[in-house]
Structures are given as C-alpha cells and as structure tokens.
Amino acid sequence: MRKLSEKSSVVLVCVLCMMLLLLPFCLSVTAACVQKECEALLQFKNSFYDDPSHRLASWNGTDCCNWNGVGCHQITGHVTIIDLRYDYQVDSSPSYSNNSIDSSLLELKYLNYLDLSGNNFYTQIPSFLGSMVELTYLNLSDTAVSGKVPPHLGNLTKLDTLDLSFNYELQMANTGDVEWISHLSSLQFLGLAYIDFSKSLNLMQVISSLPMLSSLRLRACRLQSTHFSLSSWLNYSSFLSRIQLLDLSFNLLNDTIPKAFQNMTSLKYLDLSMNQFNVIFEGGISTFIRNNCGLKVLDLSWNYNLGGDVFGSRYGNQSTGCDLQVLNLGYTSFKTKIPDWLGMLKSMKSLDLGHSKIYGPIPASLGNLSSLEYLDLGHSKIYGPIPASLGNLSSLEYLDLSRNALTGTIPTAFGRLLNLRKLYVQENRLMEVGNECFTQLEKLEELDISRNLLKGILTEVHFANLYQLHSLRIGYNELLCLDIKSDWNPPFQLQVFDASSCIGCFGGDFPQWLRTQKALFRLSLSNTSLSISYLPTWFTSHNLTNLDLSFNQIMGPLPASIGNQMPNLEELYLNNNLFDDSLPPSLCRLKSLVILDLSYNKLSGVFQDCLLTPNLRILDLSHNNFSGTFAHSHGNYLSNIEKLCLRNNNFEGFMPIVLKNSKVLYILDFEKNKFSGNIPRWIGNNLESLEILMLRSNLFNGTIPSSLCNLTYLKILDLANNQLEGIIPSKLSNFHEMTRSKYIYGESFGSLYYYCMNGRYFVYNGAKCPDGGKSVVHFFKSSYFNYSLLDLMSMVSIDLSNNSLVGFIPSEITKLKNLIGLNLSHNNLIGIVPTEIGEIESLESLDLSFNQLSGPIPLSLSKLNSLGMLKLSHNNFSGEIPREGHLSTFNEASSFDENPNLCGDPLPMKCVKENSSESPSKSIDNYLDQDQEDKWEGWLLYIMIILGYIVGFWGVVGSLIWKKSWRYGYYKFVDEATYKVHLTIWRSIQLLKAICTPQ
C-alpha cells in the first residue's frame, strides 16, 4: 500500500507539473470578443467625428480584444478595459466627440477600467456612468466636460480611482454638490484639480469620511484656510494618519500652515506650493521631517511671504534615517542660513532653495548628499567661497549657484562631478578659473560661468574632455580671455554659445573654430570688440536661429548671401555697428524672422516690403539713413508686429496702412522722419494694445483724432514738433493707464515686462530679454535722456508741444493721476489752467510756456511735491505767484517771466497792495455805510424788475385775450418766424457741407 501511495503521489506531482507547464499556453489563448459588445464599441467609435491621431484605426472587424485601447477577460472575452487616454508625448492631437460620451458603453456590463482623459467632449458628464457599477477606475480628466457632476457617480462603490481634474467648467458651486463623494467607500485616489470648490465649505468633511482614501489632489481649487478648520473635519485624525499623497498647490491658503498636517504619519508626498502661507508650523521643517520620517517629497515653493524659522534650526535635527528625497523652498522670503543638518538626509535627490533670501555660506555638509541630482541655490544672498566638498556629489546633474555674492575660484574638485549636466555659477564674484576645474566633467552638458569677475585665460585644455557639452556661456567676464588656436577642433558640438561682453575673448577677430560647430542654433558675440571689415562668408550655419553681433565695430555692407548662409534665422541683432550700404535682397529669404534689429548703423536706401512677414514681431531700423516710403503694400503683413521703431531716418509719405491690423503692437516710434498727412483715426480704433506712440518731429498736419483716446493702455503720447492744429481731445480719462492713482512698476506692462519676466522670449534668446537693456532716447524735461526700454515703459507722459493747437486745456487732464510729464508749450492755447491740476499727484515736469493762457496760477500746484520742472513763461497769467508748499522751491524767474500781469517772487515786479493807512475805525464805518447802501440798491432793483415783468406780461397777454384778430395775427407771426429760422439753419448746414466736402 505504501508503494502504491508513493506511486500515486509521484503521478499526482507529475500531473501538477504538466498543468503548470501548460498554464501559460492556456492563458495565452484569449476568448473571442462578445459580438454584442463589439457592436457597442463600433457605435462608440462612430460617435467620434474626428480621430487625428488615428487611435481608433484598428477598430475594425469582429475581434475587438485585439483593438488598440481595448482589453478583454482572457476566459470570458468580455470587454473589461477601455484606455483611450491622450498621450501628449505620442499623439499629435486629441480626438473629439459630437455631443456626449455615447451611451453604447452601457452594453459593456463587465467594464471596470475606463480612461478617456485628454479628449475633448464639450458636454456634461452623462448620468448613465453611475449605472456602470463594475467600474474600479474612471479617468475623465482634461476632457472639457462641464456643468454639474451627476450625483449618480456615488453609485460606483467599487471605484478605487476617480480623476475629474483639469475640467475648468465643472460646477461644484454649492455645499450639496459634493455629498455624492461620501458614498465612494472603496476610493483610494481622488483627483479634482482645477475645479472651483470655493463655495463647497463641507468638502474636506466629506472627503475625510472616505475610509480607504490615500491619495488626494486638490490643486488650484480656490480652497481657503476655512476649508481646513479642525471643526469641519469629522474623522480628520484617522484621515490624516492614512493619507500618503496630498496636493493642495495653487490655492488661497494663507497665514500659518495648519497644525493638523503634523499628524500625517503615513505621508509620502505633500505639495503646498503656490499659496499664501507666511508662517510654517511650529518646529519648522526640522520637526516636521522628524515626525514624518517616511516623507519623500515636500514642496513649499512659491509662497512668497513664507518666512520665520522655516528650517526650525533652534529645535535641532536627528533625521539621519529619514527618506526625504525632494525639498523645494524656492521663491519664498525666509531669511535664514542653510542648516548643517540638511547634509544628514542621505536620500535627498533634489534640493531647491533658489529665488529666496537665504544668506550666509554654503555649508560643507551638503557635500555628504551622495544621492543628490539637482541643487539650486541661485538668486539668493549666499556669500563666501564655494566649498570643495560639493565636488563629492557624484550623482549631481544640475547645479545653479547664480546671482549670489560668492567669491573665490571654482574648486578644482568640480572635476569629480562626472554626472553633471548643467552648471550655473553666473553673476557672482568668482575671480579665477582653475586650470583643471572642468577637465574631468565628461558628462557636463551645460556650462554657465557668465556674469562674474573671472579673470585669467581659458585654453583648449579647459575643454579637452567635455564631449557632451552643448551649451557654453562665458559672457560678461570682461577680464577673461580665450587663447584658442585658429585650427582648434573642439571635442563638442555646441548648440548655444554666448560670450557677450567678454571683451578680451577674441582679440577683435571672428572666432575661426566656429567653422566646426555645425549644430549651433544660438550664437551671441555681442560687445566683444569685433572690428572686422565684413561678416565672414564662411560662417554658414543652417541650424542657426539666433545671431547676436550687436555693439561691435563690424564695417562694410551686409553679406550679399546672408539669407543663404543662415536661412532659418528667427532673431538677428546687428545693431550698434558700422554696417553701411543698402540691404541685400537675400534678406527677403528669411521668412522665419521674429526679431530684426539693425538700429544704430549707417544703412541706407529703401526698406524692402518683403521683410514684413507674418512672423515678424520686433523691427528696429532706428538711427540709419533709410529713405522713401515704408511698407506701401496694403496687405495684412504686420498683424503680429509688437514693436516698430523707425526713429531718426528719412522715411516719408503717409502713415503706413500696413499697420492697420496690428492688434498687438505696443510700441510705435516714428520720431525724426518726414512722415506727413493726417494722423489716421484707425490708430486709435485698431491698435488696441498700443502703449507708446512717438510721432515727434515729423510733418503730420490736421487735427489730433479723438479716437486716440480709445488707446486705454497708452503710457507715452508724443506728437511734438509737427504741424497739428485744432483742439486737444477732451476724453483723456480714457487713458486708463494714466489715470491710475498709483503705478506699480511692471504690473501692467502687457508686453515687454510680461515677456521678460515670464520667459516668452527665453526660447529665442537664451537668458537675454529682447531690448530689455537697450538704451532708448526719450525727450523729457526739455532734454533728451537715455532710458532702458523697461524704464521707458514706466514713464507716463504727454507731449503736444510745438504745434498750432488752439482752445482750452481740457479739464479731464486732471484725472491723469499717473502722469509724470506734461508738455503743451509753443501752441496757441487760451483760457485758464484747470484749477484741479494739483490732482495729478505724480507730475514731475509741467511745461505750458509760449501760449496765451490767462487767469491766476492755480494754487493747487503747491501740492505737487514731485514737480521738478515748471515752465509757465510767455503767457498772460495775472495776479500774484503762489508761494505755498512746493511752489516756494521754484526761485528762477525763467519759470514765470513774460507774463505782463504776473507779479511777486521770483519776478522783479512786486505786487501793489491797497492803501492801508486809514484808521481802522474809519474803515469799518465806511464799510458799514457802503454795505447799507448796497442793500437799499438791491431792494430797489428787485422791485423794478417785478413791476416791469407784471406790466410787460399783462400788456401782451391781455391784448391777445381782448382782441381776437390780434391773437390770430400773433399765431401767424410765430409760425412764419419759426419756419424762417428752420430754413436759415438748413441752408447754413448745406453751405457748410459744400465748403467741407473735398472737390
């Protein structure tokens, strides 16, 4: 029996082994798709009217289990998975649905996984989804659904994942709109990012009741601190103890970070960035990390006012065993030193303290973070030398030490950073470059040592082993030199090379080794003392999109083949050189140009219209010798132009009609040319983004069109030195940017400031903000001054001087509270100065000289404490010059002279006062007698007026009542007189039309 049982056991084991061997083969045989479900899927496919990414191309035939995005049960063949999410890295564009998510999905009774994220349906979430009770995964994020979320979704009690994020039109306006969430008892992940819950005050109370929830994303939901008061959480303690991922970024949370977060013992990921916190929880990060040792990611960045003892340094730290991998405190305001204990966090991979107010030296302990891959300490207040211990960070790929006050040299130990890809140490006070500090960084991809005080000589040795280098920035080190042989063949292929303001780098010659750089797409050699007589024709880089050779001494004409040498140029800066002659026709082949700056050269001839492509955004031809008409074509070529500068040339003709549809134009500078004709009305009606309008020193005539007052963003209006006539438009309060009582620098620059601060042009020009540092000449306070363009954008001024304007100064000008300069001099203005001119609280310069203004000088001028220049000379002002307040500081007679009836300091003419030698008692008696006499005369006048009215009224009316024939005659006389008046008015109108209508 024992032998038999042993044999049966062996047989059983063999059978089991055979079954295990055959199991994979059996599992690989999938049951056929259920026909009814296949038909439902085809119906669902047909509801999509567009499939540009062709994800549904495989949905043909009857074997739906092999279709892309469809998964079936391997035994029954029932459809269990639909995954049609839009993959941004693979797909070119999402699919769209006609009207709604088709109800054919109801036929898929066994469906448990539905992902339609990233597709656009533009409809409401269908309520039938609440009937698909087998669903465990539902992702409708970024699907453009709108309206209220159907409460039927609360029936999906098997759901462990629900994501409705990035549907901006979903409505959760009332407290009752979130009650359905409490029924999702199996939910582990809930994503509701970018849905407005500002009025759903019980949101956290509902969410905290979910017994299985471990991951919660509430990014940009307009949540406030009141949503997180402890009294509103029923089960907050158990909820906080099990939550592992919590994303509350981009909300309106303020004041102190809630203490409740300190009890999140299971927490692994916490994102509180982009809120309004100003104080961290008690004990700071040190205590928080120690109490939540499993935390891997902590992000408190972009809380601008977050300060205090953020690190909790006074509490110490023994977090050596903690797992924190990412700590982001960038863009905050805390003022503290970097604590040594950060070096104990051995698992740290990313540390970002940049754009904050940390100060002091870099602790050497950071060199112990052997896992660190990303370190950003830039844009702070760190000083002292760079510790050599940072050379121990063998895993480091990104290092930013820029814009601090570091001193000393770059440690040679940096040569041990073999994984380094990006190194930024620009704008510090580094003094020397070590001989071997870069040679061992074989994996270095980006090297930026610009904006320092580096001195010494860089040779081929410094770059010998940088095989992976593709970005090299060494600019703004005026004492740095490059000693490179002309036949040097670098080991790298650069994509970006910026040596701007490295004056001693090239010895005046164009670097010959650039011949070898075939991958180059951004080259900046601005202000490098290049003094070549022509641009080399051998420099052909078909990948080049950005070329900056500005502020050099390059002479001669532009190369005739420049359009063939660099056909893909998007930005070309050749300004501030010595180029001459006319523009070569090959420039017209640069159809991708976005920025073209040829200013401050000696170029001449006619500007070709072919350069005005739809891509062009910035065109600067100022300070050259161009002539002829500009862009006489009537095509819509400049619809995207943002800045057009033609200053100081010889252009002529009317205002170019090609600008008529330039809706985004914000700077228009035609100063010092020969443009003529009327200023067209379409400037005010069409150029809605205009912020600076300079038409000074031209030949414009006619009146100032009232439509200019439609330019609500206008900050500078300069029409001086023309031949304009007529009155000043009255609706000046429409200049909204000029009426703001307080101007905040950079707040409303709907153009340059926005681009520079938010990086729009960084993709074109590296770290250079276009024109941001370029000097611009502007006439202010009777003189020309140089301003950077950013400074110019903060100016607010009106200059209409040296024209033939007539009429009064509009009283609405006193509403321009942000006005800095006002010049109306050398015109024919009459009347008084508006008495409330002192309400222009920002005024620094006021010139009303050489007009025919009269009346007293307004006393309100004394309130203008910022006024630095005042010119009221050559008018007809009268009375005594006020000396109250700030007016007492104007002691130059030139501010008031040539006003015959004006007297008082600082003019030599003294004001004559009435004789006051009579005795006080006599004066009082005379005054009383005169007063009594005036009263009697007044009563007598009133009596005579009343009697005259009574006699006259009844003399006429009584006669008409008494004599019927007189009454009819009166009516006839009135009718005839009325007709004659109307006829005279009509004839006058016709005569005016005939005079005004051009022949």
Mean pLDDT of 740-755: 41
CA distance 669 to 300: 45
Task: Using alpha carbons only, give the angle 757, 762, 764 rounded to the nearest 5 degrees.
Answer: 145
pLDDT of residue 480: 84
* Band of residue 656 on the pLDDT scale cut at 50, 70, 90: very high
Q: Residue 83: is it exposed, middle or buried by C-beta count within 10 angstroms (0-12/13-18/19+)?
A: middle
Q: Is 439 within the bounds of a domain?
A: no
Mean pLDDT of 622-635: 84
Q: Is 895 within the bounds of a domain?
A: no
* Band of residue 745 on the pLDDT scale cut at 50, 70, 90: very low
Pairing of strands 79-83, 70-72: antiparallel
The per-residue pLDDT of the chain, averaged, comes to 82
Residue 492 has pLDDT above 80, yes or no: yes
Residue 768 has pLDDT above 80, yes or no: no
CA distance 787 to 795: 10
Q: Are 705 and 681 in contact (CB under 8 A)?
A: yes
pLDDT of residue 599: 94
CA distance 664 to 750: 10
DSSP track, 429-476? EE-B--TTSSTT-TT--EEE--SS--EEEEEGGGGTT-TT--EEE--S
For the chain, the first-to-last Cα distance in angstroms comes to 131
The pair of three-digit structure tokens given for residue 140, joined into one six-digit string? 């409708």
The pair of three-digit structure tokens given for residue 104, joined into one six-digit string? 């054919």
CATH number at residue 683: 3.80.10.10
Mean pLDDT of 948-972: 53
Residue 978 has pLDDT above 50, yes or no: no
pLDDT of residue 184: 94
pLDDT of residue 175: 64
* Band of residue 627 on the pLDDT scale cut at 50, 70, 90: very high
Q: Residue 16: is it exposed, middle or buried by C-beta count within 10 angstroms (0-12/13-18/19+)?
A: exposed
Residue 123 has pLDDT above 80, yes or no: yes
DSSP-assigned beta bridge partners for residue 699: 676
Residue 696 has pLDDT above 80, yes or no: yes
At 255-289, the pLDDT tens digits run 888 777 777 888 999 999 999 998 887 778 888 88
Type of residue found at 327: L
Mean pLDDT of 543-558: 92
- Of 431, 456, 482, the one marking the end of a domain is 431
- Of 401, 431, 461, the one marking the end of a domain is 431
Look at residue 160 and give its three-state secondary structure: coil
Q: Are 165 and 194 in contact (CB under 8 A)?
A: yes
Pair 424, 561 in one domain: no
**Domain around 375:** 253-431
Range picked from 40-54, 307-321, 466-480 for highest mean pLDDT:
466-480
At 405-437, the pLDDT tens digits run 998 888 878 878 888 888 899 888 888 776 667
Mean pLDDT of 87-104: 66
* Band of residue 323 on the pLDDT scale cut at 50, 70, 90: confident
Q: Are 779 and 795 in contact (CB under 8 A)?
A: no
Residue 772 has pLDDT above 70, yes or no: no
Q: Is 123 within the bounds of a domain?
A: no
DSSP-assigned beta bridge partners for residue 669: 645, 694
Pair 561, 418 in one domain: no
Q: Is 246 within the bounds of a domain?
A: no
What percent of the chain stands above pLDDT 70?
Answer: 78
Pairing of strands 96-97, 48-50: antiparallel
DSSP state of 489: -
* Band of residue 683 on the pLDDT scale cut at 50, 70, 90: very high
pLDDT of residue 321: 65
Backbone angles phi, psi at 359, to 5 degrees: -140, 180
Residue 574 has pLDDT above 70, yes or no: yes
Q: Is 230 within the bounds of a domain?
A: no
DSSP-assigned beta bridge partners for residue 190: 162, 216
Pair 560, 427 in one domain: no
Q: 681 or 432: which carries more pLDDT confidence? A: 681
Cis peptide leading into 906, omega within 30 of 0?
yes
Residue 687 has pLDDT above 60, yes or no: yes
Mean pLDDT of 46-65: 84
pLDDT of residue 543: 87
- Residue in the structure block whose two tokens are 């051998």: 538
DSSP state of 708: G
- Total domains in the chain come to 2
CA distance 155 to 267: 29
Residue 981 has pLDDT above 90, yes or no: no
The pair of three-digit structure tokens given for residue 40, joined into one six-digit string? 């439902």
**C-alpha closest to that of 326 among 357, 347, 344, 308:** 347
Residue 955 has pLDDT above 60, yes or no: no
Predicted TM-score (pTM) of the model is 0.72
**C-alpha closest to that of 683 among 694, 673, 672:** 694
User: Taking the mean position of all CA atoms in its chain, how far away is CA 146?
Assistant: 28
Residue 394 has pLDDT above 70, yes or no: yes
pLDDT of residue 628: 93
For residue 541, CA distances in Å to 467, 488, 489, 613, 845 come to 21, 18, 16, 22, 51
Look at residue 578 and give its three-state secondary structure: strand
User: Taking the mean position of all CA atoms in its chain, how far away is CA 661?
Assistant: 23
Residue 351 has pLDDT above 90, yes or no: yes
pLDDT of residue 999: 43
For the chain, state the CA radius of gyration: 40
H or E element: which one contains 289?
helix 284-291
Q: Are 495 and 519 in contact (CB under 8 A)?
A: yes
Q: Is 101 within the bounds of a domain?
A: no
* Band of residue 14 on the pLDDT scale cut at 50, 70, 90: low
Mean pLDDT of 493-518: 89
pLDDT of residue 847: 95
Mean pLDDT of 564-586: 92
pLDDT of residue 930: 44
pLDDT of residue 841: 87
Q: 832 or 992: which carries more pLDDT confidence? A: 832
Residue 236 has pLDDT above 80, yes or no: no
* Band of residue 227 on the pLDDT scale cut at 50, 70, 90: confident
Q: Where are the alpha helices (DSSP H) in 632-773?
A: 682-686, 736-739, 752-758, 762-765
- Residue in the structure block whose two tokens are 């910026």: 498
Q: How many residues does the chain have?
A: 999
pLDDT of residue 293: 85
Residue 362 has pLDDT above 80, yes or no: yes
pLDDT of residue 926: 45
Q: Could you give the maximum distance between any two Cα atoms of the chain, in Å?
A: 156
What percent of the chain stands above pLDDT 90?
Answer: 45
pLDDT of residue 916: 43
Residue 5 has pLDDT above 90, yes or no: no
Residue 449 has pLDDT above 50, yes or no: yes
* Band of residue 113 on the pLDDT scale cut at 50, 70, 90: very high
pLDDT of residue 746: 36
* Band of residue 962 on the pLDDT scale cut at 50, 70, 90: low
* Band of residue 132 on the pLDDT scale cut at 50, 70, 90: very high
Residue 855 has pLDDT above 60, yes or no: yes
For residue 281, CA distances in Å to 260, 296, 300 come to 9, 18, 12
pLDDT of residue 929: 47
User: Taking the mean position of all CA atoms in its chain, how far away is CA 370?
Assistant: 38
- Of 880, 903, 932, the one marking the end of a domain is 880
The answer for 876, left when phi > 0, alpha when psi is -120 to 50, beta otherwise, is alpha
Q: Is 222 within the bounds of a domain?
A: no
At 785-839, the pLDDT tens digits run 666 666 666 678 999 999 999 999 999 999 998 899 999 999 999 999 999 999 9
Q: Is 484 within the bounds of a domain?
A: no
Burial 442-457 (b: 16+ CB within 10 A, else e): bbbbbbbbbbbebebe
